[in-house]
A and B are shown apart, each in its own frame.
Chain A
Amino acid sequence: MAFLNFLISGISLGSIYAIIALGYTMVYGIAKMLNFAHGDVIMVGAYICFYAVARYKLPPLVGILAAMAVCTVLGIVVERLAYKPLRAAPSLAVLITAIGVSYFLQNGALLLWSSNPKVFPSVTGMGKISLFGGQLTVSLVTVVTIITCIVIMLVLTWFTGNTKMGKAMRACSEDKGAAQLMGINVNSTISMTFAIGSGLAAIAGVLLCSAYPTLVPTTGSMPGIKAFTAAVFGGIGSIPGAMLGGILLGVIEIFAKAYISTQVSDAIVFAVLIVVLLVKPAGLLGKQVNEKV
């Protein structure tokens, strides 16, 4: 039973990583950049939800929607102001800018909301579900997290496969020049991608803080790095890859904590990443990209 319990917590943690990883992977797939500020958008989402629910006593659902709205706008604004002027710049310049945006958001949060940890109220309540006659208890937030992750995965797969915006996004990720010549507005497609990624980050932030209720301005950075790892693990640019990578990473982390050592669990997670990349450099589901010559 302990094993099953660990597995479920692993999948739940992994679901959060997966939702965050989707933002990394979609932005990378389309804008070909690593948005290292993505982790901090999670933190902003969590703060917005915290203030809506704990301070203004709004219902949790309204808090989540408010967080999503703010993060979506934040994502679009960050892209417009920080990344769009660098569209033709070398990728290193964009990467450094992303790190800069990350620090900007963290310090902005520090200024606005202070460094005092906030105790995040769980949006799902503290309920628990007992299974097998009380041998296995699963908290409600775990269940909600896993279900949310599955729903997001299904909707996103449908969106990219069946809508014209989704097809425009895939076309841009393959060949921006050709997409433009087919009448697709590449800039608005990139904005759209940031909007979706950041909206998902808000959900991830709320779920993360519901499970681990301490909220500080650096809350987003470690999960952000882990989710980035998950995206690379699954094959960056691939949506199913991000999901698979996220969930595997979560499960490995929890198992490492449970059976090996809490202290070295992160080291184990990253060691697994290194091994996978040595064997499959493009990640689990990533496609080997042949450079055009």
Chain B
Amino acid sequence: MANKVKLVPVPSGSVIPERDIDKSPILETHHLGIDFGGLVAVDDFNLTIGRTEIAGLIGPNGAGKTTIFNLLTNVYQPTRGTILLDGKSTKGLKTSQVCKLGIARTFQNIRLFSAMTVMENILVGLHDEMDYNVLSSIIRLPGFFRSERIARERAMELLSIFNMEDLADAEAGSLPYGAQRRLEILRALATNPCLLLLDEPAAGMNPSETEELMENIRRIRDMFQIAVLLIEHDMNLVMGICEGICVVNYGKVIAKGDPDQIKNDPVVIEAYLGKKGAK
């Protein structure tokens, strides 16, 4: 089973599967930080993710997890520090360029293009795979139709991962909640990422759906050989599938390690219980 790989710590503190140890990590952040006015939202954030690692980013509400996702996708420009994707800095790139380089994400509150069909949502994700431009769509019609056909076939393949082929022509906004979440993952996969960011993928799911989601995340990782970084509050899911976990609080990393280390870390326990005590 894929989740039984041996874990090896790397210098920056995270843990990556042994099978990745000879390769460079897919993502490294060094002393990443961002301030909003006088507020230090994220500070000195170091993270390393292996090429096919499933990593978890956890922490109490407002700890800065989604801000970190926004930094990784260049929605926010960091105040300090660097992000290396596959060894290359993403500094100064546009969000759409970061996506082209291979970081895709889903959202905490689903952000599908709800007035478009399921198929069209995936085709938007496949945007860059379709190698024609406006001019060629007018001049070279055969190339245009071929490119569209290939994209549709590819979209159908992606839909088949979650057995959603029947829903291809349904309006995305009309899908049930769970299917919308799955579609968001497929749309992100359509952009051909090497790192998939999932923002609370299990939010609003019941235990059996969560179980299925865990299986799916593993399956996607094995199928596409990509790294996954997920934000999640469901500890069963996090402890169940993550190989390395990074805990943040008040924008700072307070612990890193594999699930067993995290579970028994007194600092982590304090951060979670302390929050409860304060309220």
From A167, A181, A185, give the contact of B75 (CB < 8 A).
A181
B118-140 interface mask toward A, CB cutoff 8 Å, 1 = contact, 0 = none? 00100111011010101001000
B160-202 interface mask toward A, CB cutoff 8 Å, 1 = contact, 0 = none? 0000000000000000000000000001101100000000000
B96 touches A185 (CB 8 A): yes
User: In the complex, A177→B94 CA distance in Å?
Assistant: 12
Task: Judge whether A184 is part of the interface by a CB distance below 8 angstroms.
Answer: yes
A180 touches B95 (CB 8 A): yes
Task: Judge whether A170 is part of the interface by a CB distance below 8 angstroms.
Answer: yes
From A165, A171, A181, give the contact of B73 (CB < 8 A).
A181
Shortest CB–CB separation between residue A284 and chain B, in angstroms? 17
A122-165 interface mask toward B, CB cutoff 8 Å, 1 = contact, 0 = none? 00000000000000000000000000000000000000001111
Interface centre among A179, A180, A182 (most CB of B within 10 A): A182
From A167, A181, A185, A192, give the contact of B120 (CB < 8 A).
A167
Task: Provide the residues of chain B in CB contact with A181, threshold 8 Å.
Answer: 73, 75, 95-96, 99, 104-105
- A contact residues, total (Cβ < 8 Å): 22
Interface centre among B96, B99, B128, B187 (most CB of A within 10 A): B96
From A162, A174, A177, A192, give the contact of B116 (CB < 8 A).
A174
A162 touches B148 (CB 8 A): yes
Binds A, one of B107-115, B231-239, B250-258, B262-270: B107-115
Task: Provide the residues of chain A in CB contact with B120, threshold 8 Å.
Answer: 167, 170
Task: Judge whether A175 is part of the interface by a CB distance below 8 angstroms.
Answer: yes
Task: Provide the residues of chain B in CB contact with A184, threshold 8 Å.
Answer: 96, 124, 127
B124 touches A192 (CB 8 A): no
- B contact residues, total (Cβ < 8 Å): 33
* Residue on B nearest A170 in the bound complex, by CB: B116
Interface centre among A170, A177, A180, A181 (most CB of B within 10 A): A181
Task: Judge whether B100 is part of the interface by a CB distance below 8 angstroms.
Answer: yes
User: In the complex, A167→B187 CA distance in Å?
Assistant: 14
Task: Provide the residues of chain B in CB contact with A183, threshold 8 Å.
Answer: 96, 99-100, 125, 127-128, 191
User: In the complex, A164→B95 CA distance in Å?
Assistant: 19
A179-203 interface mask toward B, CB cutoff 8 Å, 1 = contact, 0 = none? 1111111100000100000000000
Task: Provide the residues of chain B in CB contact with A179, threshold 8 Å.
Answer: 113, 124
A167 touches B124 (CB 8 A): yes
What are 18 A-B residue pairs whose CB atoms fall within 8 Å in the complex? Answer: A163-B144, A164-B127, A165-B134, A167-B116, A167-B120, A167-B124, A170-B115, A174-B116, A175-B111, A175-B113, A177-B75, A178-B113, A179-B124, A181-B104, A182-B124, A182-B187, A183-B99, A183-B127
Residues of A within 8 A of B (CB): 162-165, 167-168, 170-171, 174-175, 177-186, 192, 287
